[in-house]
């Protein structure tokens, strides 16, 4: 259960002192993905920028979706390169495809292909996200933000 804290600044301070770096980051990620109402309130009081035409609530939703997308893509990135290409490579080498051992192939060819695909998935999904929040069409001179499709 998350402890309820009175304001955003103190919420930040409540993350510390750091027990371990790992818990610190996991708390940070948790906070980014599932902000409390207090976090939301802090964000809207801190946001003094009048240029941003979308509402603070929308800006936060957009950022949350963005973080979620980036973290999942980086998860795949880590799994393929460090997981399959290095840590599990010897095990995967048992499997052969043509003249390649699988672990060796992933390390020297497959991972690079996956990297390219990941960037294109990111481009595609971010474009969709931007459209859902009406963030590109007129390069910032947007009218009212549309509701997200789903």
Residue ranges in contact with another protein by CB under 8 A? 9, 12-13, 16-18, 21, 24, 28, 43, 46-49, 51-54, 59, 62-63, 66-67, 70, 73-74, 77, 81-82, 85-87, 89-90, 93, 97-101, 104-105, 107-109, 111-113, 115-116, 118-120, 122-123, 126-127, 130, 135-136, 139-142
Minimum distance, C-beta of residue 25 to another protein, in the bound complex (Å):
9
Strand extents, DSSP E, 38-148: 96-97, 100-101
Nearest to 5 by CA among 31, 34, 38: 38
**Residue 2 Cβ vs another protein, minimum distance, rounded to whole Å:** 18
Q: DSSP secondary-structure letter at 97?
A: E
Report CA torsion sign: 52, 65, 71, 103.
negative
Task: Identify which of residues 3 and 22 has a Cβ nearer to another protein in the complex.
Answer: 22
CB of 4 to another protein, least distance (A): 20
CA distance 91 to 83: 11
Query: Nearest approach, Cβ of 6 to another protein (angstroms)?
Result: 16
Question: What are the helix and strand counts (H, E) for the chain?
Answer: 7, 2
């Amino acid at each position: 259960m998350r402890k309820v804290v009175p304001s955003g600044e103190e919420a930040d301070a409540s993350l510390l002192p750091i027990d371990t770096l790992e818990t610190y980051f996991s708390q940070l990620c948790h906070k980014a993905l599932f902000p409390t109402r207090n976090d939301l309130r802090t964000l809207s009081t801190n946001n003094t920028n009048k240029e941003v035409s979308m509402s603070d609530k929308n800006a936060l939703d957009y950022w949350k979706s963005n973080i979620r997308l980036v973290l999942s893509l980086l998860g795949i990135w880590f799994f393929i390169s460090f997981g399959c290409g290095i840590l599990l490579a010897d095990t995967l080498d048992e499997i052969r495809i043509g003249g390649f051992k699988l672990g060796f192939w992933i390390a020297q060819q497959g991972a690079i292909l996956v990297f390219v695909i990941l960037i294109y998935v990111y481009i595609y999904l971010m474009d969709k996200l931007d459209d859902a929040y009406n963030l590109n069409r007129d390069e910032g001179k947007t009218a009212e933000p549309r509701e997200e499709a789903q």
